[in-house]
Amino acid sequence: MPDWNRYVTRVLDLMKRYPGVIAFFGFVSGISSFILVDRQEGLATWIATILLVSWLWLMFENSVMKLFTRIFKRQVPEPLLRYGTQMIHQESLFFVLPFFFITTTWNSGQLVFTTLLGAAALVSIIDPLYYKWLASKRWLFLAFHTLTLFAALLTALPVILHLTTAESYKLSLGIAMLLSFPSMASSFPINHWRRVLLLLAMTLAIGGAGWLLRSWVPPATLWMTEVAVSTDFDDQNRTPGDSVEEISTSQLRKNGLYAYTSINAPRGLDERIYHVWRHRSREVDRIALDIHGGRKEGYRAWTHKQNFPDDSVGRWQVRVETEDGQLIGVLRFVVTDTNQATLTRPTGDPLGVKPGTDDSEPAPPQSTPSTPEQTN
């Protein structure tokens, strides 16, 4: 019979000698999956499915190993199990990073979440930090574990099950809460009914914090491909005119403004988003738009606002949000008392430019200003 321990030892030695290989593979697979999702190729679904299967293995690792020992009368080396856990963390974190990096609005609270994921990814490939600092503190390791799973689910569920962003967030948060309870129970043994109440309260607190801070979590599979705030719109070609950075009140009341967004979503995903027009941090209009995934250039949608308040001077935002309030992007412009407008060409750069709803009045060509326009 082959000496499996000797082979396992050799594999472990190679992995320890080149610790960045697994992380590099995870990052490359994440980039590949991101590109494949963009091109609507089915292989991306397989990559995400394999990732989730590896997480199921991690959840039931101890039970499976006990069953293996009982049946085959052999034990799997402990270093291999510990490295397997680390490998899954590395693969998961570097898999999701490309998605969150592209979809993050960097001048918002989403910066915190994505930076946290990046820091966790670095910890996973630095053995002294991972084993001596993280793994030695059970509660910290479990928090790390739950965060990684939460991010992986947010990325994989829309691809595999074609769930909307709102559905994926709720399901991912629910799974994270369920898994956090037994994890915390293992760290804080239940030897009194007060401990049960405390653990329930901690679990609910985790879920409540995740829900209240949902706007800080980027929608992993939705991103902007083109955005513009313009006074003109080409109805025939479905394209906006020059994008406005500053506009006078007289021009604003004469022509109104179009908020144009092109949003990339995975194939088979039907999503409701909102253009939220905001003036001086106050919501003015919220307009619903239904988008459909599968178009490489993104699903084009726009709203036309014509009725502005008497006091329109100041900073405006058009925020693009999901049904649950996750931020996809923000468009910004300033209304002035002058008669000079500052124009730029529409941009295809989604970073830092996010559409949102204030009280916007979407207007179709030659129609009332209360109907949103959209096209694929």
Same domain, 202 and 236: no
Q: What is the mean pLDDT of residues 209-215?
A: 90
Name the more confident of 269 and 347.
Answer: 269
Count of beta carbons in the 10 Å neighbourhood of residue 352: 14
Assess whether pLDDT exceeds 50 at residue 355.
Answer: no
Same domain, 212 and 236: no
Q: What is the mean pLDDT of residues 213-236?
A: 89
Three-state SS at 49: helix
Give the separation between CA 278 and CA 320, rounded to whole angstroms. 11
Assess whether pLDDT exceeds 90 at residue 255.
Answer: no
What's the predicted TM-score (pTM) here? 0.73
Per-residue pLDDT band at 104 (split at 50, 70, 90): very high
Assess whether pLDDT exceeds 80 at residue 239.
Answer: yes
In Å, how far are 222, 242, 260, 370 from 366, measured between CA atoms? 30, 20, 17, 12
Which of these three, 201, 216, 231, is where a domain ends? Answer: 216
Assess whether pLDDT exceeds 60 at residue 343.
Answer: no
Instruction: Name, in order, each residue with C-beta under 8 angstroms of 297's C-beta and a sequence gap of 6 or more.
Output: 225, 226, 262, 264
Assess whether pLDDT exceeds 50 at residue 370.
Answer: no
Assess whether pLDDT exceeds 70 at residue 248.
Answer: yes
Q: Of 26-30, 46-50, 135-139, 310-314, which one has max mean pLDDT?
A: 310-314
Strands 282-283 and 287-292: unpaired
Q: What is the mean pLDDT of residues 338-355?
A: 46
Q: What is the mean pLDDT of residues 25-44?
A: 58
Q: What is the mean pLDDT of residues 50-66?
A: 67
Same domain, 135 and 107: yes
Same domain, 161 and 26: yes
Same domain, 152 and 208: yes
Determine what percent of the chain is predicted with pLDDT higher than 90.
18
Q: Give the end-to-end CA distance of the chain in Å, rounded to a whole number.
A: 62
Name the more confident of 120 and 197.
Answer: 120
Q: Of 19-28, 55-64, 263-272, which one has max mean pLDDT?
A: 263-272
Which of these three, 194, 216, 238, is where a domain ends? Answer: 216
Strands 314-322 and 327-336: antiparallel
Q: Which amino acid is at 270?
A: D
> Do 321 and 274 contact (CB within 8 A), yes or no?
yes
Q: Closest Cα partner for 215 from 323, 298, 364?
A: 323
Three-state SS at 96: helix
> Do 35 and 47 contact (CB within 8 A), yes or no?
no
Per-residue pLDDT band at 277 (split at 50, 70, 90): very high
| 196: DSSP letter | H
> Do 207 and 199 contact (CB within 8 A), yes or no?
no
Name the more confident of 365 and 123.
Answer: 123
Give the separation between CA 1 and CA 4, rounded to whole angstroms. 9
> Do 332 and 315 contact (CB within 8 A), yes or no?
yes
Residue 128's domain comprises 4-216
Number of domains the chain is built from:
2
Same domain, 84 and 162: yes
Which of these three, 197, 216, 235, is where a domain ends? Answer: 216
Q: What is the mean pLDDT of residues 297-308?
A: 86
Same domain, 206 and 227: no
Per-residue model confidence (pLDDT) at position 111: 94
Name the more confident of 181 and 304.
Answer: 304
Same domain, 280 and 178: no
Per-residue pLDDT band at 8 (split at 50, 70, 90): low
Q: What is the mean pLDDT of residues 284-301?
A: 84
Same domain, 85 and 125: yes
> Do 262 and 224 contact (CB within 8 A), yes or no?
yes
Same domain, 187 and 238: no
Count of beta carbons in the 10 Å neighbourhood of residue 237: 7
Name the more confident of 298 and 354.
Answer: 298
Per-residue model confidence (pLDDT) at position 366: 28
* CA atoms within a 13 Å half-sphere pointing along the CA-CB vector of 198: 11
Same domain, 232 and 143: no
Same domain, 370 and 266: yes
